Structure 1
Amino acid sequence: IPTMPSELMPASIAALITNSLQQQADKFSAIIGDLQTQLNEFKDLSSHKKKPDSNNTDLLRWVGKPYW
């Protein structure tokens, strides 16, 4: 794509390019927002790990079991 100053481009082409770039920026922002949400949810989950006690044997059930 040849590069030329925006003042030399027809207005309709400049508008299409601007619109396309804005759509890409919006998608990128949405992706970043989703990743931030997932990271925060992961942090919340990892900070609330279950602690084994007499009423909770879920964690103890998995200790010592092979993965295969």
Structure 2
Amino acid sequence: MAGHKVAHATLKGPSVVKELFIGLALGLAAGGLWKMHHWNEQRKTRTFYDLLERGEISVVAAEE
């Protein structure tokens, strides 16, 4: 039993190419989510002004 050797993984430094691709993927994912959020807000604003222009809604409180 004392003569057996266990194969250990050799520790290497970080892979620069791998980290670049991971960073690129995370950046694109975050950018895509941000753009989707921005488009949703833009759609809501456009809908609001369309309804306001057609007279279906008003920003003035109705008098009683």
Give 5+ residue unaligned stretches, structure 2.
1-14, 57-61
Aligned to 1:44: 50
Larger RCO of the pair (alpha carbons < 8 Å, separation 6+): 1
Say which structure is richer in helix: 1
**How many equivalent residue pairs?**
45
Q: Report sequence identity in percent.
A: 9
1:33 to partner: Cα distance: 0.7
Q: Which amino acid aligns with 1:14?
A: L
Shift of 1:49: 1.5
3-state DSSP of counterpart to 1:26: helix
TM-score (norm 2): 0.62
- Show the counterpart of 1:6: none
Larger Rg: 2
| C-alpha RMSD of matched pairs (Å) | 1.6
Structure 1 runs of 4+ with >4 Å offset: none
TM-score for the superposition, normalised by structure 1:
0.58
Name the counterpart of 2:37.
Answer: 31
